[in-house]
């Protein structure tokens, strides 16, 4: 059986992720109580279900505390992935205000930001074991695309995910390693290059001819190559390497594309450009 377990904060996009999986042929269960998870998996496996996706979140209450141990057990038994969706608190507050839905942990004693903080604490042990996806700045269509890309990859080995971002929009919550390339010359100050991105030929030519750019690219590559085996031994499914510049348009995009190309022959890679959506 191929099993995808989806968890995360309320309002972060779990329903969207589950719908994507259903569209590609997974048998999906939403809001399954955590204490029924193992029994349900055994039942589905015994009845021949080959691709299953299950959403478990804070609505399970105290039974969530048993999930980390079960996750470790499932990793030994199945082709298993754990995805955890999260967003910044201000983004979640805005989404709940727009939809006028009630947060599952809010009541007369806890305002919405307090309920979100309680949910983070409750689910943190699960988040620490999962591949985390920060949906704060993602459209629904972009999230759907990212989920499809992840599911399309073989699950038996680590996937190295290179992501560009702009520091002025905040560091991605799901980054495992963060590299700051704001010290490099900025194409933004060239009027010809400003409207382009790090994927355009003129910007690529500008950056690849700067010695400091080549040196930093080499340093980041060597660092990741040195420590990648350690992350693999930690039985991770994904490692997210985030490269940040000021606006996330030029330097970080160029570096992300180059790093992904250099690692693609050795390990499964994905590329994300958060600010180019």
* Chain segment 207-230, per-residue pLDDT in tens: 999 999 999 999 999 999 999 999
Domain that holds residue 210: 159-276
**Per the structure, how many domains does the chain have?**
2
- For 266, other C-beta atoms within 10 Å of its C-beta total 10
Are 125 and 214 part of one and the same domain? no
**Residues in contact with 194: Cβ distance below 8 Å, sequence separation at least 6, in sequence order:** 187, 188
Q: Give the pLDDT mean for 152-176.
A: 86
Is residue 156 pLDDT above 70, yes or no?
no
Are 74 and 133 part of one and the same domain? yes
Q: 177 falls in which pLDDT band (50, 70, 90)?
A: very high
The last residue of one of the domains, among 101, 118, 152, is 152
Q: 155 falls in which pLDDT band (50, 70, 90)?
A: low
CA distance 144 to 19: 9
The pTM of this model reads: 0.76
The last residue of one of the domains, among 83, 117, 152, is 152
The last residue of one of the domains, among 133, 152, 171, is 152
pLDDT tens-digit map of 123-149 = 999 999 899 999 998 889 999 988 988
Q: Are 247 and 166 in contact, with CB atoms under 8 Å apart?
A: yes
If you average pLDDT over every residue of the chain, what do you get? 91
Q: 255 falls in which pLDDT band (50, 70, 90)?
A: very high
């Amino acid at each position: 059986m191929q099993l995808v377990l989806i968890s995360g904060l309320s309002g972060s996009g779990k329903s969207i992720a589950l719908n994507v999986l259903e569209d590609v042929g997974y048998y999906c269960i939403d809001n399954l109580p955590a204490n029924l998870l193992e029994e349900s998996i055994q039942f589905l496996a015994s009845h021949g279900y080959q691709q299953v996706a299950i959403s478990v979140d804070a609505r399970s209450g105290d039974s969530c505390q048993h999930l980390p141990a079960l996750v470790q057990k499932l990793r030994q038994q199945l082709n298993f992935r754990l995805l955890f969706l999260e967003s910044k608190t201000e983004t979640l507050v805005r989404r709940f205000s727009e939809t006028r839905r009630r947060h599952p942990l809010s009541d007369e004693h806890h305002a919405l930001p307090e309920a979100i903080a309680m949910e983070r604490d409750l689910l943190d042990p699960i988040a620490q074991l999962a591949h985390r996806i920060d949906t704060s700045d993602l459209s629904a269509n972009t999230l759907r695309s990212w989920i499809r890309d992840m599911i399309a990859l073989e699950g038996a080995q680590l996937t190295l995910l290179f992501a560009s971002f702009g520091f002025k929009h905040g560091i991605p919550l799901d980054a495992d390693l963060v590299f700051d390339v704001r010290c490099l010359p900025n194409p933004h100050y060239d009027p010809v290059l400003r409207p382009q991105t790090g994927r355009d030929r003129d910007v690529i030519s500008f950056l690849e001819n700067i010695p400091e750019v080549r040196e930093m690219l080499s340093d980041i590559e060597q660092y990741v190559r040195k420590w990648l085996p350690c992350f693999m031994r930690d039985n991770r499914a994904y490692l997210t390497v985030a490269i940040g510049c000021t606006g996330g348009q030029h330097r970080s995009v160029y570096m992300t594309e180059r790093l992904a190309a250099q690692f693609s022959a050795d390990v499964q890679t994905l590329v994300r450009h958060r600010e180019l959506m």
